[in-house]
Amino acid sequence: MARILLIDDDNAFRTVLGLTLTHFGHAVVEARNGREGLELFLDASADLLITDLVMPEKEGIEVLIALRDRLPPVNIIAMSGGGLGKAETYLRSATLLGAARVLKKPFSNEALLAAVNELLADGK
């Protein structure tokens, strides 16, 4: 199917998402933070990037800024739980910075797979 770069600092959450995506036929490359994700990006040859927004070392917003002007464009799904009602603000910012889809944590596997399948099918 597709090669997906998954960036999230929560080891358990990242593992579950990675296993879910792998179960549905995708190859997944995992990174623990935005810095590591950007380092892996060039070698990953990813069709899609899924990133958390709030992380240590380099946040997902910084990843979006670094990749928003790449040609060809990078398909990005941003996700955040944010805490204390901040998730909506983070996700709105991510959309303004070029995220094609946003997911508020917690989200269902169905919501994740729908976003992944839509972006891969549309080539957005």
Per-residue pLDDT of the chain (124 residues; tens, 9 = 90+): 899 999 999 999 999 999 999 999 999 999 999 999 999 998 888 999 999 999 988 999 999 999 988 878 889 999 998 666 788 899 999 999 999 999 999 999 999 999 999 999 976 4
CA distance 99 to 85: 20
- CA dist 119 and 13 (Å) reads 22
For 95, the token pair is 């959309």
Nearest to 24 by CA among 123, 124, 118, 116: 116
- The bridge status of strand 76-80 relative to strand 48-52 is parallel
Domain that holds residue 33: 3-122
pTM of the entire predicted model: 0.93
92: CATH: 3.40.50.2300
Structurally, the chain folds into a number of domains equal to 1
pLDDT of res. 122 = 73
The confidence score (pLDDT) of residue 124 equals 47
